[in-house]
Amino acid sequence: MRRTARTSARRESGGRAAALFLAPFMVLFALTMIAPIMYALVLSLLAEKKSGLGFAPAATVFAGLGNYAAVLGSQTFLDGLARLGAYCLMYIPVMIGLALVLALLMDTAVARARKVFQLVLFLPHAVPGIIAAIVWVYLYTPSVSPIVEVLSNGGIAVDFLDAHLVLPAIVNVSVWEWTGYNVVILFTALQAVPRETIEAATVDGAGGLRTALSIKVPLVSSAIGVIALFTIIGTLQLFTEPTMMHTATSSVTSTYVPNMWAYDAAFNQHNLNQAAAASLILAVLAAALSFIVTRWTSRSQKP
Amino acid sequence: MIKVRAKMLGGAMAAAVVLALAACGSGTSTAGSTTEDGAQASAMASASGNITFWSSVANMKPVVDAFNQSHPNIKVNYEVTPSAAPGYAKLSTALQAGNAPDVATIEYYRLPGYASNGDLQPISDYIGQADLGKFSGQVRGLVSLGGKSWALPYDAPPMVFYYRKDLLADAGVSTAPATWQEFEADARKLKSVHPDAYLASFYPDDPSTFAGLAWQAGAKWFSTEGDSWNVNLGDAATQKVAGFWQKLIDDKLVKVEQSFSDQWSQDLQKSTMAGVVGASWSATGIVSRTKGQEGKWAVAELPNWGTPADSMLGGSTFAITKTSKNPAAAAAFIQWMTTSPDAIKARGNVGSAWLAYPGLSDIAKANFSTAPFGGQDIFSVFQKASSTVSDGWNWGPKITATYTPLADGFGRLATGGTISEAINSAQTATVSDLKNSGLSVKG
């Protein structure tokens, strides 16, 4: 009796300690995440209504799901979503594939070269996204870019900023920025692969390629899943690169991707209600995609 | 134009940002004051206290200092704001949050948006018709809506045409094109001697130049009729301008490129851009991009459609916001800034600005070096251009609802879109946006 009482008391005090440690996080989380999302939810259900010529202050009215309908009914928003889909189809396989290949190569490289590769590959990620975008815009702009000039001297006339190439050009910037970061994550996971397993494979006669494909890749699949999750959430937030490209080419419109649509709605059209609705639609989409990815990776890991 | 702050926008984060900016936006509104015109002029004379002033106009610091020195009762706090869209984003969010400045800088094309949104206090409450009447009827029209004046005009930049004398001379052209037909012919001649050169640019990202060209041709995109707005982007004059520029683009006589882009600067430097369809203020930007071409540039009135006509491109006004607690002091400051020669003298180098108040441009002229233009008296060209600006043009209650779809449509020019299609989609988008916001619209 005494014993159980004591354990439950200890458990209680443990709970109190946990609450104490968690409180700062929970307070900040509630203030900076939950409250804004709730407010955005409220905003997205309201609308500003003027009348006649205007001049009188607008009245705030309840709009129900009207803003959501307006966002989902907007051709430019849907075009942006489709563009984002095309971007994902190009970006995710290329980036994750490249990161995996580089991580596997690094795992086999001699120990000294590893550190150098790790640094070199990670370096682009250390450049702030906005700076990277400015540099790449410069490298893409015809008559300014040394790359375009060299190519055209070699007889290849290419305009990276034209309407057909600009999306792959944006994919390229993202790949450049993010591959090194993901290589580091995958490489760390590869380090954790038990050496005995690899030795056993070698003893059984598996070559380097076979070991990589049949032993290492399956063993780091959970890390690949995590990367896929972060990447998908990241791609939904695509904003910086196309916004910078927009200053250099008309192929990137002011509503090129959904986030730019929301930015335009909030800060150019001053329609915070529709911007809130668009942002929440994106948030729901991100949540749904994360759910699918986590379900898919956890299922594929079951023996 | 780097929108760093926007980097974190996305998904749930966007919601957070939207909140942060709108948090304090609960309705502060001024009761519609029904005073007679200029009835509070005496209040302005005895005004005192602190006011804040936001502007993206260059070199305003010494102007504010001069005002503070000569008006000991009023203290103006000056804050530099970003120009163009980011600046309006800042102003609009501040208005919503209730911490806007007393005096805001608003370009003509944005003024009806703020006025019709109830964001401003009419300046005609303080400044009477006698003073307002000193501005030309044409700029006065642009700051008046619903029977009240909402701001005082600072500059009134007429559209003009800048061109490279030497490049046109190579093509056997010795004078600037007086009409658009001549402009097209000159562009073809230029192309035959300099195949890489263009006579002008078409800016897909900035519809204001196109709007100015339509205005010059006699278009009237926005008007009011009783209690309703009329939106008419597709009128005959606009269609004429659209067809003409479409032909220039299709025949590669003008180059489609972003305004103020690196590419545009390069084209100017490499002499592949032989002309600029711009406004009086463009001179400063052209000079800074064309080192080594001094004396080769000249300015002329904008080519016309047969009879002299012009329009304005850009131009700033100063307005009193609805949240100002000291509108009398704000009005006094605005009046001094826009009409006093001391304000222009204090600013020093005003660039190639064409000021709205009569006589003030002479002071600007004295400070502008015309060496890049071979000593040409460019201000007299501005004056002539300014005198032919067509009356009767109005800006709409929400220009961004027009400009975003218009720019998006122009963005499709490279993939087979046309100017005409862009205009049609902008017309539809504008009407539906205005109707959705509750305004009464015909069109």
Average pLDDT, chain A: 89
Residue A114 reports pLDDT greater than 70: yes
Query: What residues does B79 pair with on adjacent strands?
Result: B54
pLDDT per position as a tens digit, B10-26: 344 444 434 343 333 33
pLDDT confidence of residue B42? 75
Contact call for B404 and A269, based on CB within 8 A: yes
In this prediction, residues B103-128 reach a mean pLDDT of: 93
Give the one of B2, B263, B413 whose C-beta lies nearest to A130's C-beta. Answer: B2
Q: Which residues contact B148 (CB under 8 A, 6 or more apart)?
A: B122, B124
- Give kind and range of the element (H or E) at residue A10: helix A2-29
**Quick one: pLDDT band at residue A53, thresholds 50, 70, 90?**
confident
Tell me whether B438 touches chain A (CB under 8 Å): yes
pLDDT confidence of residue B414? 85
Residue B181 reports pLDDT greater than 80: yes
Query: Which of B150, B185, B180 has its CA nearest to residue B168?
Result: B185
Question: How far is it, in rounded angstroms, from Cα B139 to Cα B144?
Answer: 9
The pTM assigned to this predicted structure is: 0.84
Q: Which CATH number fits domain A66-301: 2.60.120.280, 3.40.50.620, 1.10.630.10, 1.10.3720.10?
A: 1.10.3720.10
pLDDT confidence of residue B17? 39
Indicate the residue type of B268.
L
DSSP letter, residue A52: B
**Quick one: pLDDT band at residue A5, thresholds 50, 70, 90?**
low
In this prediction, residues A11-37 reach a mean pLDDT of: 88
Question: How far is it, in rounded angstroms, from Cα A22 to Cα B349?
Answer: 59
pLDDT confidence of residue A8? 55
**Quick one: pLDDT band at residue A248, thresholds 50, 70, 90?**
confident
In this prediction, residues B204-218 reach a mean pLDDT of: 96
User: Which tokens go with A240?
Assistant: 């910086």
Please give the C-alpha separations between residue B61 and each of A4, B91, B345, B352, B361, in angstroms, as whole numbers: 76, 19, 12, 18, 19
Please give the C-alpha separations between residue B65 and each of B287, B328, B333, in angstroms, as whole numbers: 28, 19, 12
The backbone torsions φ and ψ at residue B298, rounded to the nearest 5 degrees and listed phi first, read -145, 160
In this prediction, residues A291-295 reach a mean pLDDT of: 86
Chain B residues with CB-CB distance to A58 below 8 A: 117-118, 437-438
Query: What residues does B77 pair with on adjacent strands?
Result: B52
pLDDT confidence of residue A113? 79
Chain B segment 164-223 residues within 8 A of A by beta carbon are 204-205
Q: Are B283 and B299 in contact (CB under 8 A)?
A: yes
pLDDT confidence of residue B269? 94
Tell me whether B29 touches chain A (CB under 8 Å): yes
Reduced 3-state DSSP string for chain B: CCCHHHHHCCHHHHHHHHHHHHCCCCCCCCCCCCCCCCCCHHHHHCCCEEEEEEECCCCCHHHHHHHHHHCCCEEEEEEECCCHHHHHHHHHHHHHHCCCCCEEEEEHHHHHHHHHCCCEECHHHCCCHHHHCCCCHHHHHHHEECCEECCEECECCEEEEEEEHHHHHHCCCCCCCCEHHHHHHHHHHHHHHCCCCECEEECCCCHHHHHHHHHHCCCCCEEEECCEEEECCCCHHHHHHHHHHHHHHHCCCEEECCCCCHHHHHHHHCCCECEEEEECCHHHHHHHHCCCCCCCEEEEECCECCCCCECECCCEEEEEECCCCCHHHHHHHHHHHHHCHHHHHHHCCCCCCCECCCCCHHHHHHCCCCHHHCCCCHHHHHHHHHHCECCCCCCCCCCHHHHHHHHHHHHHHHHCCCHHHHHHHHHHHHHHHHHHCCECEEC
pLDDT per position as a tens digit, A124-175: 999 998 999 999 999 998 878 888 888 988 888 888 988 889 999 999 999 9
Instruction: Give the rounded percent of residues in chain B with a pLDDT score beyond 70.
Output: 91
Identify the closest residue of chain A to B437 by CA–CA distance: A49
Contact call for B3 and A143, based on CB within 8 A: no
**Quick one: pLDDT band at residue B151, thresholds 50, 70, 90?**
very high
Length of chain B: 443
pLDDT per position as a tens digit, B404-423: 999 999 998 988 899 999 99
What strands, in cross-sheet order, belong to the sheet with B441-442? B222-225, B228-231, B441-442
Tell me whether B34 touches chain A (CB under 8 Å): no
Q: Which residue has the higher pLDDT, A207 or B296?
A: B296
Residue A181 reports pLDDT greater than 80: yes
Burial of B101 (0-12, 13-18, 19+ CB in 10 A): buried
Average pLDDT, chain B: 89
Spell out the domain ranges in chain A.
2-62, 66-301
Give the one of B15, B145, B404 whose C-beta lies nearest to A255's C-beta. Answer: B404
Q: Tell me the CA end-to-end span of chain B in Å, nearest whole number.
A: 34
pLDDT confidence of residue A10? 58
**Quick one: pLDDT band at residue A9, thresholds 50, 70, 90?**
low
Question: How far is it, in rounded angstroms, from Cα B143 to Cα B15?
Answer: 35
Give chain B's domains with CATH numbers.
38-156+313-366 (3.40.190.10), 159-311+392-442 (3.40.190.10)
Indicate the residue type of B77.
N
In A127-194, which ranges are continuous DSSP H helix?
129-140, 146-153, 166-191
pLDDT confidence of residue A6? 53
**Quick one: pLDDT band at residue A208, thresholds 50, 70, 90?**
confident
Give the one of A246, A254, A267 whose C-beta lies nearest to B89's C-beta. Answer: A267
Highest averaged pLDDT of the listed ranges A155-164, A227-236, A253-262:
A253-262
Chain A residues with CB-CB distance to B29 below 8 A: 57
B237: closest CA of chain A, how far (Å): 25
Chain B segment 255-274 residues within 8 A of A by beta carbon are 256, 258, 261-263, 266-267, 270
DSSP letter, residue A31: I
Chain A segment 176-205 residues within 8 A of B by beta carbon are none
- Give kind and range of the element (H or E) at residue A62: strand A59-62
Tell me whether B10 touches chain A (CB under 8 Å): yes
Contact call for A54 and B116, based on CB within 8 A: yes
Tell me whether A157 touches chain B (CB under 8 Å): no
How many other C-beta atoms lie within 10 A of the C-beta of residue A218?
Answer: 13
